[in-house]
Structure 1
Amino acid sequence: MQPVNTLAAAPRPADSSIGGLLLESGKITPENAERVLRMQKELGIRFGEAAQRLGLITEADIQQVLARQFDYPYLQPGEGRFSPLLVAAYQPFSHQVEALRAVRSQLMLRWFARGRKSLVVLAVDPGEGASLFAANLAVVFSQLGEHTLLVDANLRQPKQMEVFDLSVKQGLSDMLAGRAELDAIAKVDAFVALSVLGAGTLPPNPAELLSRASFAGLNAQLEARYDVVLYDVPAFAAGSDALAVASRAGGVLLVARKNRTRMSGVSNMAEQMRQNGVEVVGSVMVDF
């Protein structure tokens, strides 16, 4: 995924040393840690350097635990069972993720610094990459140390539980129907400050459910608990669901796909949002 910016903190582990983090992550065993400590003492070198000399870890392992020391967690390829398209988790220093961070910075300045906490991520048509963009954006917000909640408000074809390999059955629809509480929210342990609320049971009346007054109360609860609440919603062309959610959040980030999305569609979507009192915070273009 290649986003192009077109916009004009949790507690640490008890032992946050390199050695402690390598042990905690399973990169080295307690027995091997003793070998490393002996070499470290004999040669007067750092723990990580000694572990590398013994062939127990790689430079990539060192970079990963350093990132955790500075509360910037990410994953190595093959680690975890998330979607490989979650580039913010697996390729945090790539050009694509640099672009995501640029979008994040603009959103912090233009929206969240103004005391706003909720934002809808929206595309014109299905298949334009808004769900995947929302997932990656949630990861980079959490890497900033912002307590971030990604809500899958697509009650027709939800995707976020698959992206993050979560198995919680209840979610947003169940909470709006009064059949679930906030414990339906799943914390993604691989990251410092990221949680996901899935869509839950797919209802026969998604638009009506999202338009209920109870949604406003739920959104207020979520904003009280999190610094950033991102809503992934059905495409604008799919019906009124997106507008119902956006009216609660107050703001929307428009997502267009390069060489696919018609700019007339984006303009029409933006105009309808404004007419309904929703602020269009900005727009991004994604390239797959």
Structure 2
Amino acid sequence: MTDDQKRGAEAVPQSSPDTAAGTGPEQVDRAAAASTVEGAAAEPRGPVWLPPEQHDAIAATLGGRGPTVADAALDDVETSAAEDGKATAAGAAASDGSSATGAGAGDGSGSSRSEMVRGGGAGADTGGAFINDGSQGQDDPIRDTLLQLGYLSEDQSARVTAHAVARGLAFDQAALELGFITFEDLDRAREQLINSLAQTTARRRPVSDELVVISDPRGLRAEAVRLLRTQVIAQHIKAGRRGLALVSPVVDSGCSNLVSNLAVALSQVGIKTLLVDANLRAPRLHEIFGLDADAPGLTSYLSMQVSRPERVVQANVLPSLAIITAGPTASRPQELLSSRRFRDGVNMLLREYDLVLFDTPPANSSADALTIGAAAGYVMLVARRDQAYFKDISTLVEQLQTSRCPLIGSVLNEF
């Protein structure tokens, strides 16, 4: 690390560590981050979240000197606290000297499971989104999962069933009302149930190993995606926002990979998610999810081959996850995406899902990404470590501001 970088790092205020183990914002391990920047061997990590207010800190440190944005960010961006009192954190894990960083946001409770959006039961804090994991009206799967995890005994299960019938409640609501399980128990049972269903579905379809939240759910990268999920739920979904486009400044930023994993991670906690492949120039989502590239998709709707956007939705690709593929190759993608029909279609879809995620082509190759971001309403910037220079990021941020696309944050991607 240069003297200038050291001085820049020292200028960044430190967050106060939380006294309770496992709660509150976690700080990035400075030594691990520095060793990674200086070229020490480190295990590949997942996405690292940066809130919008950190862009100025990166710019001041780089000063046009030319290192990648990730080099500056790892040294000079550690933690931040949002003005409204919500904590934004970058998590770090290093078991053998390598670091794994992600991000987690609290909802004021400081719980390590704050990413779970709770639904059902008296007094539940739904945060503007209700988990629809298929358990309502289908009690056996959630009951069996609670039994398997040891959260209920057979005797308690029988009592819950009787109480549910008497009160007209779903099994999980009855268990909560009787006090046999906590919201955290129910969150964990739901996640295990949905993940099990996702793995079963994946075995029936040639899903890519790039979906690390399915292929390697205990790995560092999957954990980093789940921490990013926390940010999206806390800062985006709970605020009532339903559209989000992931935009990269240059090619090979890993945007398709990241948006796919994020979509699956959100669906695993019951967020009704739609993933749209709006990269009409080089679509990849059909490959990642093992879908037919020639099936009707976004271009089919935009070219008026089908009347409504929901007719090209592939529902239940995974539990709580639907996908619109790019569809047949289009000769004029920018004209299609700039049309009133695209904007109207997006507005229809936003009313049907808790979150609609958009994959986009690199911003330096066309104006498509800005057009999609404006239609989605909000943008998350994705840059790959050692790939994007600050000038690329700065140019894209200026373009987003000019296009009036609100930027909710940035991700340093290592997929």
Name the TM-score class by shorter chain.
0.7 to 0.9
Q: 2 CA distance for matches of 1:183 and 1:276?
A: 30
Aligned residue in 2 for 1:265:
392
Residue 267 of structure 2 corresponds to residue 174 of structure 1: no
User: Does 2:314 correspond to 1:186?
Assistant: yes
**How many equivalent residue pairs?**
243
What letter corresponds to residue 49 of structure 2 in structure 1?
N
Give secondary structure in 1 for the equivalent of 2:382.
strand
Equivalent in the alignment of 1:40: none
Mind listing any 5+ residue stretches in structure 1 that lack a counterpart? 23-65
Equivalent residue number for residue 359 of structure 2: 232
State whether residues 361 and 369 of structure 2, in contact with CA within 8 Å, keep that contact through their aligned partners in structure 1.
Answer: yes
Identity %: 31
Asked if 1:147 corresponds to 2:262, the answer is: no
Deviation at 1:2, TM superposition (A): 1.9
Q: TM-score, normalised to structure 2's length?
A: 0.55
For 1:178, the aligned partner's letter is M
Counterpart of 2:240 (choices 115, 134, 138) is 115
What SS does structure 2 have at the residue aligned with 1:187?
strand
Q: Which residue of 2 aligns with 1:158?
A: 283
Distance 2:267 2:377 in 1: 21
Equivalent residues of 1:155, 1:202 under 8 A apart: yes
Aligned equivalents of 1:215 and 1:68: distance in 2?
A: 34
1:41 corresponds to which residue?
none
Name the SS for the 1:121 alignment partner.
strand
- When residues 91 and 247 of structure 1 are mapped into structure 2, their CA distance, relative to the original with a 3 A threshold, is same
Alpha carbons 1:128, 1:255 under 8 Å: kept:
yes
The aligned residue for residue 75 of structure 1 is 199
Per-residue CA shift, 1:28-71, capped at 9, x if unaligned?
xxxxxxxxxxxxxxxxxxxxxxxxxxxxxxxxxxxxxx666643
TM superposition shift of 1:126: 1.5
**In the alignment, residue 286 of structure 2 is paired with which amino acid?**
M
The Cα shift of 1:103 comes to 1.4
Unaligned runs of 5+ in 2: 1-44, 52-79, 81-131, 149-188
| Residue in 1 that maps onto 2:28 | none
Structure 1 counterpart of 2:314, which letter? A
Alpha-carbon distance change, 280 to 69 in structure 1, aligned in 2, over 3 angstroms: closer
**Structure 1 counterpart of 2:351, which letter?**
A
Q: Cα 1:139–1:69, aligned 2, differ >3 Å: closer, same or farther?
A: closer
Partner SS state of residue 234, structure 2: helix
Q: In the aligned structure 2, how far is the partner of 1:86 from the partner of 1:279?
A: 28
Are the aligned partners of 1:5 and 1:99 in contact in 2 as well (CA < 8 Å)? no
TM-score (norm 1): 0.78
Kindly indicate whether the alpha-carbon contact (under 8 Å) linking 1:216 and 1:248 is maintained by their aligned counterparts in 2. yes
Q: Is the Cα contact below 8 Å between 1:118 and 1:223 reproduced in 2? A: yes
d(CA) in 2 for partners of 1:280, 1:67 = 31
Tell whether the 8 Å contact from 2:191 to 2:269 is kept in structure 1 after alignment.
no
TM-aligned CA deviation for residue 176 of structure 1: 1.5
Q: Which residue of structure 1 lines up, in the alignment, with residue 75 of structure 2? A: none
Q: Structure 2 vs 1, CA of residues 249 and 286 (structure 1 numbering), >3 Å: closer, same or farther? A: same
Other-structure match for 2:403: 276
144-153 or 109-118, which moves further after superposition? 109-118
The partner residue of 1:6 within 47, 50, 55 is 50
SS, match of residue 71 in structure 1: helix
Task: Please point out which of 205, 209, 228 is paired with 1:103.
Answer: 228
